[in-house]
Amino acid sequence: QRVRAGLGSAADPGLSCKEIKDTVDSAQDGLYHLRSQEGIVYQTYCDMTTADGGWTLVSSVHENDMYGKCTAGDRWSSTRGSTTNYPEGDGNWANFNTFGSVELATCDDLKNPGYFSINASDVMLWHVPNNTPLSQYKSEAYLRYYTTDGFLRQYGGNLYSLFKDHFPIVYKGATGNGPAIPITWDNGSEDLLKSLLAPNVLGEVTPGFVHFCVFNNERAPHAVCPGLKYNGGNVEHACIGGAAYWAEVAPRQCGDFAGKDWDGYGTHTGWSSSLLELESAVLFFYR
């Protein structure tokens, strides 16, 4: 990526990709420097072209070991085992921890200060095969979609506030399911999504949404259902992120991708998703 002068350069970090895009209308997709509300400078990827651009990459959810059930790398659920000792799991949906780096967003989990410090209105999600290089995140993202209704403004302006103040990711939490927000497709379609999901979940979902904080039959929370609204109780086969305990044949559903391998690894039968979905990261952007 070329070195840039002006807002978004190392010498003049922006607060968000939207601020940069609003200031420099010709800004292109790529790496920029941002600064958090507390003054921490970090580098991330800005999508400056999708639906007028201004999208900041803030996080990715990556499953590094589907056979590891709440083990190393399961930062969006529990890295400390399948246990009821930590009702919030690692708690990363609603804390100030950061990890990963922008160029490794498809190789491991990512969470930068933008996740909790940017004041945003909408989200965009990309499904990108594991180990895709930064320069190809967009072209290789077989599903790309975004919200348009400004829902984050109702929940504190970012996912940190949504989960911290409105819909905590807590095992057997008292709070009910969070909102299901309609999406606009930029790449892929409802039909493509359905062709990749576990066949058995098709009767329990409505594609065309992103759904937050969804509890399953055993009251295990899932942070995000990417691309769909989950209407039934077997949430663990289609939704990602969570806490530290899934009661159904524990620990088999414990981890960043929960029970996506219930009927075998990438078999795309029963309650198992396709291999492609199992081996892709979900990247989160704010605008």
Residues that bind Ca ion (CB under 5 A): 62, 65, 68, 73-74, 109, 234, 255-256
Pick 19 or 248: Cβ nearer ligand G3P:
248
Q: Does 272 bind ligand G3P (CB under 6 A)?
A: no
- Interacting residues of 14 by C-beta distance below 8 A, sequence separation 6+: 7, 8, 20, 23, 32, 33, 34, 35
Pick 68 or 199: Cβ nearer ligand G3P:
199
Report the alpha-carbon distance of residue 276 to residue 227 in Å, rounded: 15
Pick 21 or 237: Cβ nearer Ca ion:
237
Q: Does 151 bind ligand G3P (CB under 6 A)?
A: no
DSSP string, 21-54: HHH-TT--SEEEEEE-TT--EEEEEEE-SGGG--
Secondary structure element (H or E) that encloses residue 160, with its range: helix 159-161
Residue 88's binding partner out of Ca ion, ligand G3P, none, with CB under 5 to 8 Å set by partner kind = none
Residue 73's binding partner out of ligand G3P, Ca ion, none, with CB under 5 to 8 Å set by partner kind = Ca ion
In this chain, which of 50, 234, 272, 273 binds ligand G3P, going by CB under 6 A?
A: 234
Residue 280's binding partner out of Ca ion, ligand G3P, none, with CB under 5 to 8 Å set by partner kind = none
Q: Which of 1, 272, 287 is nearest to 148 (CA)?
A: 287
Report the alpha-carbon distance of residue 34 to residue 53 in Å, rounded: 16
Report the alpha-carbon distance of residue 108 to residue 64 in Å, rounded: 7
Q: Which residue is nearest to ligand G3P (CB)?
A: 234
Q: Residue 123 in contact with residue 284, Cβ under 8 Å?
A: yes
Q: Residue 122 is encoded by which pair of tokens?
A: 């909408």
Residue 271's binding partner out of Ca ion, ligand G3P, none, with CB under 5 to 8 Å set by partner kind = ligand G3P
> Please, what is the Cα angle at 254 between 83 and 130, to 5 degrees?
140
- Residue type present at position 262: W
Q: Which residue is nearest to Ca ion (CB)?
A: 255
Q: Residue 89 in contact with residue 243, Cβ under 8 Å?
A: yes
Least distance to Ca ion from the beta carbon of 251, Å? 10
Instruction: Map residues 183-222 to x or -, x wherever contact with ligand G3P holds by CB under 6 A.
Output: ----------------------------------------
Pick 91 or 259: Cβ nearer ligand G3P:
259
Residue 222's binding partner out of Ca ion, ligand G3P, none, with CB under 5 to 8 Å set by partner kind = none
Pick 190 or 248: Cβ nearer ligand G3P:
248
Binding site residues, ligand G3P, CB under 6 A: 234, 248, 262, 271
